[in-house]
């Protein structure tokens, strides 16, 4: 693959599985120096790191909890200390705690908002100074179409993803004068551990509603991240791009 991201430093949160892993693989294969995070899965993170390093790519996993300010600060400080710059931040780490609102606990609400929305706030805040002094940067937030359309049983998750859209647009405006572009990708239904939890009936229901009649592969989200990292998207900021097989139309 073309090394069009050679010399770029990228941070990908939640890079140890699913969509995040595909993003790590894609950016690294195009020459980026990738720092990825995991929280609970050190073995899996190590296996990916070893495999890609053996292949001559630059990937380093660091344990970090995006919902914790100190942990995020240590992550960003370590990257800046090691390489002195950050070109790309991909806020991908996310969780679900699905249940109907009537049964949703305060913890279900807080955990999801803390990881999916506060996590992105903390990482954006931490990378901002470095990107501003470089007068260059790309921030890509992984939202969801349910942040636009809503979904029963996911009030916490949908609220977090809707919040990410507001964060994306506000930061796009705040940071535009420093040439930092901020965009959001809103996937539909992607085959990962997160959607493994769905019943066969739920999956079949989803698939019939998707105009393209199938779930996305993680790589199909990663390729859109690569677009937002590349010079091909140099005049796009503050946008939400649905990558959903037409589901949200
Ligand atoms: P996944 O397979 O469940 O992977 C989640 C990743 O996030 C893992 O790498 C996990 O680390 C990490 N993580 C979880 N909590 C964290 C925390 N507090 N701090 C740092 N890392 C944390 O999820 P996915 O399906 O790939 O989803 C990735 C993103 O896409 C999420 O933001 C999700 O909301 C969004 N999305 C997914 C779909 C879909 O259909 N799958 C659709 C729309 C949007 P460990 O491996 O260490 O646990």
Residue 174 host element (H or E): helix 155-175
Give the number of residues written for the chain: 249
Q: Report the C-alpha gap between 158 and 150 in whole angstroms.
A: 6
Structural tokens at position 89: 């931040």
Q: Please check whether residue 139 lies inside any domain of the structure.
A: yes
Residue 246 belongs to a domain:
no
Residue of 93, 140, 143, 222 to mutate, ligand 1, most atoms within 8 A of C-beta? 93
What is the tens place of the pLDDT at every residue in 179-193? 999 999 999 999 998
CA distance 164 to 117: 6
Q: Pull the structure tokens for residue 5.
A: 């991201």
Ligand 1 lining (C-beta closer than 6 Å): 13-14, 16-20, 37-41, 64-67, 92-95, 115, 142, 144, 187, 189-190, 192-195
Judge whether 69 lies within some domain. Answer: yes
For residue range 42-98, list pLDDT tens digits in order. 999 999 999 999 999 999 999 999 999 999 999 999 999 999 999 999 999 999 999
In a domain, 2, yes or no: no
Domain that holds residue 210: 9-240
* Cα 89 to Cα 182: distance, rounded to the nearest angstrom: 9
In a domain, 198, yes or no: yes
3-state SS class at 120 = helix
Domain count, the chain: 1
Q: Which two tokens stand for residue 15?
A: 């890079």
pTM score, whole prediction: 0.97
Residues 118, 121: Cα–Cα separation, whole Å:
5
Measured by CA distance, the residue closest to atom 6 of ligand 1 is 14
d(CA 194, CA 180): 30
Distance 65 CA to ligand 1 centre (A): 12
- What's 43's domain CATH number? 3.40.50.720
């Amino acid at each position: 693959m073309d090394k069009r991201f050679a010399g770029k430093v990228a941070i990908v949160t939640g890079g140890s599985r699913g969509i995040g892993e595909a993003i790590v693989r894609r950016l690294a294969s195009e020459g980026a120096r990738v720092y990825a995070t995991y929280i609970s899965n050190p073995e899996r993170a190590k296996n990916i790191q070893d495999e890609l390093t053996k292949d001559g790519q630059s990937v380093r996993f660091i344990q970090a909890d995006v919902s914790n300010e100190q942990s995020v600060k240590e992550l960003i400080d370590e990257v800046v200390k090691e390489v002195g710059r950050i070109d790309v931040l991909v806020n991908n780490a996310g969780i679900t705690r699905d249940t109907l609102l009537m049964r949703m606990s305060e913890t279900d609400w807080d955990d999801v908002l803390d990881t999916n929305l506060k996590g992105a706030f903390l990482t954006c805040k931490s990378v901002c100074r470095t990107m501003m002094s470089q007068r260059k940067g790309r921030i890509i937030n992984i939202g969801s179409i349910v942040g636009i359309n809503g979904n029963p049983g996911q009030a916490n998750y949908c609220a977090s993803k809707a919040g990410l859209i507001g964060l994306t647009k506000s930061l796009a405006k705040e940071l535009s004068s420093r040439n930092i572009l901020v965009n959001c990708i809103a996937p539909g239904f992607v085959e990962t551990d997160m959607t493994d939890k769905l019943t066969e009936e739920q999956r079949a229901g989803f698939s019939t509603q998707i105009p393209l009649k199938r779930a996305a592969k993680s790589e199909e989200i990663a390729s859109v991240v690569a677009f937002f990292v590349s010079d091909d998207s140099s005049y796009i900021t503050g946008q939400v791009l649905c990558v959903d097989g037409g589901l949200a139309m």
